Amino acid sequence: MTPRLPKYRRRMLARTALVLGLILATLLPPAGTAAREAARDTPEQAEQAGRENPPRTGLLWRRSSLPAIFPLQIRTAPGRGYHVTLRHETTGHPTLAAYINGGDFFRVLVPPGSYRLHVAHGVQWQDEATLFGPRTRFFVLDRPLLFRTRGIGTRAGHLVDLRALAESRQASAVMPLEICQRYGMDPTDWGLSSPAFQPVPFDPNAPRLRLRFSVRQRLCD
């Protein structure tokens, strides 16, 4: 028959086992950590993923408190990516940036002012800091783009054609692009009966006629 340990010895052994368990739990990584570390992408793999998955065509950011209401449309050729930045002509402050996958339709609204169009283009996109890497090609439009209101309710912008940029250093064309606004009364609240639109009988207790005005916007012809 095995002799039974004294009570104080049993307590000491239990405390020793608890301390050893805590030490081992601190030194050994949790279950699954090794697998997660092995599955984590290396910097080279992350860079390659960025090259294979460039941003979608569209606005990246806009830094202006002014309302963006003037149109800017840019045409590009397939096969390259384009990083576009508008910088204020006077301050040089970057107002907005966008990414265009070559050949995609792209139009954005711009705050009022005069801006310089800066374009970086290439084949393998990396990020906004390195753009397309050492093979990035740069282009700055030779004249500023002015976005302003012209006349009554006409928002004047620009259409820039960059489809020839891959073969030369000049944009092929810069054309006006304008949004026209039409103001009109909404006839739905008029005191007329449909469909003949005949005046309704006069009723002194009827509510007063409320005229509502609507604004319609479209690209100018």
191 domain-assigned? no
At residue 160, the pLDDT reads: 95
Please tell me the distance from the alpha carbon of residue 57 to that of residue 148, in angstroms, as a whole number: 25
Q: What is the pLDDT of residues 57-105, one digit of tens each?
A: 999 999 999 999 999 999 999 999 999 999 999 999 999 999 999 999 9
> What is the average per-residue pLDDT within 21-25?
67
Predicted TM-score of the model (pTM) = 0.65
At residue 140, the pLDDT reads: 93
At residue 204, the pLDDT reads: 72
142 domain-assigned? yes
32 domain-assigned? no
206 domain-assigned? no
> What is the average per-residue pLDDT within 3-16?
68
Q: 40 is written with which tokens?
A: 């984590």
C-alpha distances (whole Å) from 207 to each of 147, 193, 202 are 44, 15, 11
The larger pLDDT score, comparing residue 188 to residue 154, is at 154
Give the SS3 label for residue 31. coil
6 domain-assigned? no
Domain count of the fold of the chain: 1
At residue 116, the pLDDT reads: 97
195 domain-assigned? no
192 domain-assigned? no
At residue 131, the pLDDT reads: 95
100 domain-assigned? yes
For residue 177, what are the domain limits? 50-183
